[in-house]
Amino acid sequence: MEMDSLNWSIITALQENARASFADIGRKVGLSAPAVAERIQKMEDAAVIKGYHLALDYEKIGYALTAIITFTCRPEKTSAFLKLMTKMQEVLECYRVTGHYGLFMKVAIKTPGHLEEVIDKFNEYGETTTFIVLSTPLEHRVLK
C-alpha cells in the first residue's frame, strides 16, 4: 500500500485520537468524511492499521506495579513458555529480541507478592531479570 501524505495525515490524526469521527479527521486533512473512511478502510484491509486500543491507568484498576521482565528461556522450553506467556493476563507486551535476553515483557502487577508469583512461573522455563517501572516519561508517541 502506498503511504502518501494524506494517509500519513490520517494516521497522525488517528494516533492522536482514534475515536475522532471521519468528519473531524477530514477537516484536519482536507478531505470529505467518505474519502477519509475509504482511505482508513484500505489501510485496515492492508493491515497498515492493525487495530484500535484503549489506554488504561493500571494503578487505578488495581495493578499497582508495572515491571519490565527480561527473560532467557531454556531452548527446549521456548515453545511451552510462549504458550504460557500468551495466556497470562499480566503480560501486556512481549518482544523477542537479539542479544543475551530472548524476550522483554511488560507486565502489570497487583502487589509485590503477585510479582513474585509471576516470576516464579517464568523461572520454571528460564532466567528472569526484573525492573520495576517508577514512571513513564514517554508512553505514547505519534509517529509522523
Identify each DSSP E strand in the chain by its residue range.
65-73, 91-96, 103-109, 126-132
Task: Indicate whether 84 and 22 sit together in one domain.
Answer: no
3: CB partners within 8 A, 6+ apart: 48
CATH of the domain at 38: 1.10.10.10
CATH of the domain at 67: 3.30.70.920
C-alpha cell of residue 96: 523477542
* pTM metric for this prediction: 0.82
Domain assignment present for 52:
no
- 92-103 burial, b for 16+ CB within 10 Å, e for fewer? eebeeeeeebbb
Domain assignment present for 99:
yes
Domain limits for position 78 = 58-132
Q: Which of 86, 88, 87 is nearest to 96 (CA)?
A: 86
Q: Residue 128 burial by CB count (10 A; 0-12/13-18/19+): exposed, middle or buried? A: buried
Task: Indicate whether 118 and 91 sit together in one domain.
Answer: yes
Domain assignment present for 118:
yes
129 forms bridges with which residues in the sheet? Answer: 70
Q: What is the pLDDT of residues 47-83, one digit of tens each?
A: 999 999 898 999 999 999 999 999 999 999 999 999 9
Q: What is the total count of domains within the chain?
A: 2
Domain assignment present for 90:
yes
Domain assignment present for 68:
yes
Q: What is the pLDDT of residues 25-43, one digit of tens each?
A: 999 999 999 999 999 999 9
